[in-house]
Amino acid sequence: MQRLVITGMGAICALGNDAPSVWQAMTEGRTGIAPISRVDPERVRAAGVVAEVKGFDPGQHFDEAKLSQLDLATQYALVAAKEAIAQAGLSFEGERASRTAVVIGSGVAGEVTRDTQYHRIYAEKAPRVHPLGIIRMMMNAPASQISMAHGITGPAFVVASACASSNHAFAQAAMMIRSGLVDAAVVGGTEACLNLGTLLAWEAMRVLAPDTCRPFSKGRRGIVLGEGSAMFVLETLEQAQARGATILAELVGAGMSSDAGDIAAPSELGAAAAIENALRDGNMSPSEVDYVSAHGTGTLANDSTETAALHRVFGEHARALAISSTKPMHGHALGASGALELVAVIGALRNGIVPPTLAYLEADPACDLDYVPHHARNMPVHAAISNSFAFGGLNAVVALRRMP
């Protein structure tokens, strides 16, 4: 079986507008959660705090003609992909263009455009909307625009499985490379969902925290929405070594499962199955794992269920795991969450630093493991998993190892 490695990484979110800035903020335990500025806070009482991208000027990245085609989610994807491809040093001339895929995860790509269009139709009574509205809001736009920007002519598509989208994208990319269909993939996730319609929809579910996100902590009150993108270059070890590329980490396994149960309530069995499948796919024993980048949304049900799933899979070794959720820093970016959290996993593997779980108050009896509260931890990390569990009972987990 082909060994798969990550050779490029790019990111933009509330913690910074490039991957090094995002990783530094994670290690310093800085939060990007703040009062909302993009919409009238009086309209979103329970969604008053979010994790917005700051200091992003689209005009610095795109000319006016191109910008007219791009929803904010696609803008973020293009910026992160450009950074990842530049770090990887990968070019797409000749056969390599057709032997590279683009696989992007997103839960609700195009929401800013969709919200704007509906406002014009229903609030402003406009007889027409933007002629490029479909081009901007279609789910495949991020993958299509990345392929066009870099001349990638291999398979390109978007995976939409709510909050598991990015990890499902990694699983799809890995399977295509292993099968021999392609040799490399630009893969990751993107989301821009901090518009009025989406915020009100989440507010109506009564799962938003009014102050901040407190995963695994007693007193946690729900999620805080975020936005952004993280992209990676995934390729065969053979190709990376032949190019002399710097290898950031090895992707050894991906596991997926479906709860086939409740549309919103998480399942311990479903989560555990995805973790077990990832370990099995990576030929990795539970005792090898040092770090778990948790889904850790900050809701009562998710965090206790994820803890139970970790106990089920890891047994006694669960108490030796360092577990953290970075969502109190970059928010819950829905379909982009798994990709942003992979920045934490790769950083932990390369630097021996586990990012903290911020805003932790006190232990919850239902969440009784080591969640690395408050401060980053220096420790060797040889192997790690990253969990993503979505509404609809869709679970996806990726397993990575440090390269020597």
DSSP string, 201-246: HHHHTT-B-SS---TTBTT---B-BB-EEEEEEEEEHHHHHHHTPP
Tell me if residue 163 is catalytic.
Answer: yes
Spatial contact of 81 and 232, defined as CB atoms under 8 Å apart: no
| Whole-number Å distance between alpha carbons of 148 and 166 | 21
CA dihedral (208, 212, 215, 217) in degrees, to 10, reads: -110
Tell me if residue 295 is catalytic.
Answer: yes
| Whole-number Å distance between alpha carbons of 394 and 404 | 33
Q: What are phi and psi of 311, to 5 degrees?
A: -60, -45
| Whole-number Å distance between alpha carbons of 80 and 296 | 24
User: Hey, what are 169's tokens?
Assistant: 């994208």
Selected catalytic residue, list 13, 213, 332, 367: 332
User: Hey, what are 241's tokens?
Assistant: 């070594």
SS3 287: helix
Residue 29 CB neighbours (<10 A): 18
C-alpha pair distances (Å), 120 with each of 67, 124, 343: 19, 5, 38
| Whole-number Å distance between alpha carbons of 261 and 264 | 9
Selected catalytic residue, list 13, 150, 163, 168: 163
| Whole-number Å distance between alpha carbons of 259 and 370 | 26
Which residues, in sequence order, are CB contacts of 208 under 8 Å at separation 6+? Answer: 46, 47, 202, 222, 223, 224, 225
Tell me if residue 130 is catalytic.
Answer: no
Catalytic residue numbers read 163, 295, 332
